[in-house]
Amino acid sequence: MGSSSSSWCVFLVVFLGLVAAGLGQDQDRDEEPGLVMNFYKDSCPQAEDIITEQVKLLYKRHKNTAFSWLRNIFHDCAVQSCDASLLLDTTRRTLSEKETDRSFGLRNFRYLDTIKEAVERECPEVVSCADILVLSARDGIVALGGPYIPLKTGRRDGRRSRSVVVEQYLPDHNESISSVLEKFGAMGIDTPGVVALLGAHSVGRTHCVKLVQRLYPEVDPALNPDHVPHMLKKCPDSIPDPKAVQYVRNDRGTPMKLDNNYYRNILDSKGLLLVDHQLAHDPLTRPFVKKMAKNQDYFFKEFSRAITILSENNPLTGSKGEIRKQCNVANKHH
């Protein structure tokens, strides 16, 4: 009796173990894969090539599209989720994120629609706007002379605007460095990562609306006096018309190149925005600014790491969200 009961116990343990293992496998099967490299390799093998090709074509025609692709990834992924909520138009119920104060100067959204249309022709309703937004940023960075950053795909699109929380998540140009570090830190981006992300200010331009407080009524004494006449010439009004095309290039030396010139400029007190100036002079960030000013490879390494973390911020995957047919409107659910 003793031996048969003990063998019965062994059998039971093994049996339960197998059942548990089987259940575990079922659970694994139910678990969504999340983001992966080359998510569309079976469902739309041409997807990434089409996006890259479109970004190149659009960049040839309109050089400033690349700045837009880069800015989009910040403005979408930093606000709760990388889910293309940024692209949704205003509806009767909700304001678009595009219309918020933080999004001032964002443009070229129609060209994202051009990319989406090209992808839809090949594979209707397969590739998300969220992935198109992220991959166009990846390819825009390359167009600007920056590093190629391999990014995962498999994001799905959100159904609602996040305009009410934009200001909680996206730092403003005149916030303290500790506040900027805290907001990006909540996404898992550390101090050198934040310093590298702000290196995106090495391309594009800043609208006068965002920098007149450093020029009027008194010129900020922290500004390099050699740089002030150019800024005053570009921004002659203390209250600029937000609709007027009045802006200063972020980096007069290499305005179309994503490079480490930005760090040399801000160390020389030529940063346009208050946040640029603080980045170079705050003891938390200054050591990294100096290192990036000396070493472009280090800047690119930290920039790539930070963009990767940003692009993977709380995405919708598996069965969450949807694949929008048009990037500016959520699908109609009957």
> In angstroms, rounded to a whole number, what is the distance separating the alpha carbons of residues 194 and 299?
11
What is the DSSP code (8-state) at residue 151?
A: -
- Cβ contact 63:111 at 8 Å: no
- Catalytic sites, residue numbers: 75
**β-strand partners of 153:** 36
pTM summary value: 0.87
- Cβ contact 82:72 at 8 Å: no
Q: Burial level of 155, CB count in 10 A (0-12/13-18/19+)?
A: buried
- Cβ contact 228:219 at 8 Å: yes
Q: What is the pLDDT along the chain (334 residues), one digit of tens a residue?
A: 555 555 555 454 455 555 455 544 444 444 567 999 999 999 999 999 999 999 999 989 888 878 888 889 999 999 999 999 999 999 999 988 888 776 666 667 788 999 999 999 999 999 999 999 999 999 999 999 999 999 999 999 999 999 899 889 988 888 899 999 999 999 999 999 999 999 998 898 888 888 889 999 999 999 999 999 999 999 998 888 877 778 888 888 888 899 999 999 999 999 998 999 999 999 999 999 999 999 999 999 999 999 999 999 999 999 999 999 999 999 986 3
> In angstroms, rounded to a whole number, what is the distance separating the alpha carbons of residues 238 and 241?
10
